[in-house]
């Protein structure tokens, strides 16, 4: 039963798992909630983002479809890190992980900073930048009335009441270079439509450096801004793919990284 799997993951991932039920049943008014993983990674969760936290720690939405095991001491790129929940999940689940996190929306980045500050000494680098198909600046549209945003977008059909801001951005190749990464064991992407520009504009020599990708795919308006086109592109770069709903996993078959 799906609910039972979620609660098994909850208990497996968190030492103070009961706090989830305290919040769910209205037994605590705490905001933010402070969760602690089994190996003492602290995760500060504003109630506004409790749903996103549950997707990562209870549903394990990003790792449940991985094609190959994540290696020991992995290198992880978290693109669209938001408040840092997946970054902290990766540090907790994969001991010795080195995680580089990119989040361009200022309110989200401030929460990412708070979560990093609560976990001094872990292998986490954070950047107030987006990834895109080029380096420089790009425009994002988001709801300025929301305390945090999980729906900033690059698409032109964004809600007209949204606010557009310009944020610094780097390409995938530059992200690898500025972190001195010879390879990336897991590239996680949840970047509200930027995934097409990031991947389609990456040089072919960048893809052999990426072992595995997990991403949420957002339907766009262009002919290649859809799940099928993205899967075809990645297969052309040597990846095997699988999908479930709006989630896509891609991996390099048989490639060994040291």
Per-residue pLDDT of 109-121, as tens digits, reads: 999 999 999 999 8
- Which tokens hold the place of 209? 């450096």
Q: What is the pLDDT of residue 164?
A: 83
Q: Is residue 227 part of a domain?
A: yes
Q: 150 lies in a domain?
A: yes
Q: Work out the mean pLDDT of the chain and round it to a whole number.
A: 91
Contact by Cβ (8 Å): 148, 161: no
What sign has the CA pseudo-torsion 207, 257, 244, 7?
Answer: negative
Whether 25 is in a domain gets the answer: yes
pLDDT (mean) for 46-62: 96
Residue 212 sits in which domain range?
2-252
Query: Taking residues 212-235, what's their average pLDDT?
Result: 96
CA neighbor of 217 nearest in space, from 79, 51, 111, 89 = 79
Scored b (16 or more CB within 10 A) or e, 223-234 reads eebbbebbbebb
Q: Is the residue at 28 inside a domain? A: yes
Mean pLDDT calculated for residue range 50-66: 96
What pairs with residue 208 in β-bridges? none
- Say what the pLDDT of residue 129 is: 97
- Residue 149 reports pLDDT greater than 70: no
Q: Which long-range contacts (CB under 8 A, 24 or more apart) does 51-54 make?
A: 52/82, 52/83, 52/85, 52/150, 53/85, 54/6, 54/20
pLDDT at 92 over 60: yes
What percent of the residues of the chain are helix, what percent strand, and what percent coil, each to the nearest 5? 30, 25, 45
**Average pLDDT for residues 170-196, to the nearest whole number?**
96
Number of structural domains found in the chain:
1
User: Pick from 143, 114, 128: which is nearest to 46 by CA?
Assistant: 114
Sheet holding 136-142, edge to edge: 130-131, 163-170, 136-142
Residue 100 belongs to some domain of the structure: yes
What's the length of the chain?
Answer: 258
The answer to whether position 50 is within a domain reads yes
Does residue 258 form part of some domain?
Answer: no
Tokens describing residue 16: 């103070």
**CATH code of the domain covering residue 158:** 3.40.50.150
Residue 184: pLDDT above 90? yes
Q: What is the pTM of this model?
A: 0.92
Ranges 1-15, 32-46, 155-169, 205-219: which has the least confidence? 155-169
* Region 213-221 average pLDDT: 95
The answer to whether residue 54 sits within a structural domain is yes
């Amino acid at each position: 039963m799906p609910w039972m799997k979620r609660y098994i993951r909850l208990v497996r991932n968190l030492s103070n798992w009961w706090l989830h039920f305290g919040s769910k049943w209205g037994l605590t008014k705490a905001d933010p909630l402070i969760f602690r993983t089994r190996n003492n990674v602290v995760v500060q969760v504003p109630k506004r983002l409790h749903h996103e936290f549950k997707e990562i720690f209870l549903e394990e939405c990003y790792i449940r479809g991985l094609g190959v095991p994540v290696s020991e001491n992995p290198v992880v790129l978290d693109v669209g890190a938001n408040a840092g929940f997946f970054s902290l999940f990766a540090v907790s689940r994969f001991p010795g992980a080195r995680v580089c996190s990119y989040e361009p929306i200022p309110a989200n980045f401030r929460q990412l900073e708070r979560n990093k500050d609560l976990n001094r000494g872990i292998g986490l680098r954070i950047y107030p930048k987006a990834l895109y198909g080029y380096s420089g600046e790009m425009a994002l549209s988001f709801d300025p009335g929301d305390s945090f945003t999980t729906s900033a977008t690059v698409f032109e059909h964004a809600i007209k009441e949204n606010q557009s801001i310009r944020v610094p951005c780097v390409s995938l190749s530059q992200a690898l270079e500025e972190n001195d990464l010879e390879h990336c064991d897991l590239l996680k992407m949840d970047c509200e439509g930027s995934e097409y520009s990031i991947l389609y504009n990456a040089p072919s020599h960048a893809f052999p450096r990426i072992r595995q990708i997990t991403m949420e795919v957002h339907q766009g308006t262009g002919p290649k801004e859809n799940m099928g086109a993205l899967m075809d592109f990645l297969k052309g770069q040597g990846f095997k793919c699988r999908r479930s709903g709006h989630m896509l996993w891609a991996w390099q078959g048989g490639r060994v990284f040291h």
